[in-house]
Amino acid sequence: MLSRDIIGVDINPEALDRCYEKLSFERKDTGEAFIRQGDARNLDFLKADRKEFAWQSI
């Protein structure tokens, strides 16, 4: 990782569980990963300067 924070948003609790599983390893010198349940159409909880890249998978 490039010492950048990762913010994951998904409405599906099962998808969030998979994210937590995939992130359950020790990381050194990296940013943090924040996983949150919600609708990706509403990212108002993010500061404007935190939105650099968005990825959507259906």
Q: What pLDDT is stored for residue 17 in this prediction? A: 92
Structural domain count of the chain: 1
Q: What is the DSSP letter of 46?
A: S
The CA distance from 31 to 3, in Å, is: 4
Containing structural domain, residue 6: 1-39
Secondary structure of residue 17 in the 3-state scheme = helix
pLDDT on residue 49:
66
Is residue 50 in some structural domain? no
Query: Does residue 27 form part of some domain?
Result: yes
- State pTM to two decimals: 0.63
> What's the CA gap between 4 and 22, in Å, rounded?
17
In which residue ranges of the chain is pLDDT below 70? 1-2, 48-58
Whether 19 maps to a domain, the answer reads yes
